[in-house]
Structure 1
């Protein structure tokens, strides 16, 4: 404890801290032993040991289990690689579409001017707003008809 600063050393050597540390260790040991006797032993250890004992004559050898584990690991690595490749290409397509639309919009504004682009944007906004308003009105009418009280 020579490498710790002096104020940490005094805290760690405090009798209260030492008491709490030993109490926590005793409490943790008690809880873990309770967990082992009440949960692990009857529900995991005994069933697995009885299963292994009943199939001990037809158990595969260690080499087969080792090869199976290696095959599973290699196949998971291949699937991870394939996943990364697919995610890369999908992300690349989305980025190209996004930046292409930004550049296309910039070129459109540059070629026709800001005033005409603003006018076109206002027209497009009106069309979208009209469609949204019509959709909301029709959905309210359909909800009222479904509820049984038509307008």
Structure 2
């Protein structure tokens, strides 16, 4: 049996593929390169099936793609549901813990502690957000000198041993 005939890609697609592999792909981080390689293999098999005229292969590709997307959606919804469940359990446990705390120390002390906690959180937010803390020349906001991270000297500087 003869091997299946490979049809060349349209010129614009091959030009875009060359530009992508020459300029964009080398600049991608490692995980994105692996995702790109996986997507490229799926797209190449889809393009090959669509251009070869083999309707059975194209139909199988569409069915597999549909089932893959359905499974991915199911997994995404399952993970989100578990995360929401864990957050709800944490909130319920925090409320039960707060109820036991109020029962053990009394309402007045619990209100005083809650007031202290709210004041502490408010002072933290006021210090970090409202007063613009962290805008010095080492850890400035993203649009300014520091770029939001600790700066590293560009040159080696003077040797400490001489």
TM-score by length of 1: 0.48
Q: Which has the larger radius of gyration?
A: 1
Q: Which has the higher contact order (CA 8 A, sep 6+)?
A: 2
TM-score by length of 2: 0.45
